[in-house]
Amino acid sequence: MHIPEHLPEWVKAGAKFKLHGRLYHVHGVVAGVAVLKEWWRTKKRWNYTAEEAVHFWVAEEYITNIWRMRHERD
């Protein structure tokens, strides 16, 4: 299986998606890497992670893209 080295088109600042029941926000893209934030209720703070393109392509079938769905309705 060939996995592209670039992020999917929809991965932009402001995008939201669910993965395994958890809601993530794309905070930004830096040097081709997506900076994600997720609210941790138990610690009452944002948790930030950086994910490369492979993360999105491998988990593609499990991602529900909230941002894209909202904009397609308009």
Has residue 21 been placed in a domain? yes
Res 4: pLDDT: 75
Q: What is the DSSP letter of 8?
A: P
Tell me how many domains the chain contains.
1
The per-residue pLDDT for range 7-38, each reduced to its tens digit, is 999 999 999 999 999 999 999 999 999 999 99
Has residue 1 been placed in a domain? no
Count the alpha carbons within 13 Å of 55 in the hemisphere toward its beta carbon.
Answer: 12
In the sheet with 45-51, reading across from the earlier edge strand, the strands are 45-51, 33-40, 22-30, 16-19, 63-65
pTM above 0.95, yes or no: no
First to last CA, the chain: 35
State which amino acid sits at residue 25. Answer: H
Has residue 54 been placed in a domain? yes
Name 19's Cβ contacts closer than 8 Å, sequence gap at least 6: 59, 62, 63, 64
The per-residue pLDDT for range 34-68, each reduced to its tens digit, is 999 999 999 999 999 999 999 999 999 999 988 65
Has residue 69 been placed in a domain? yes
Has residue 9 been placed in a domain? no
Has residue 56 been placed in a domain? yes
Q: Which domain holds residue 49?
A: 16-73
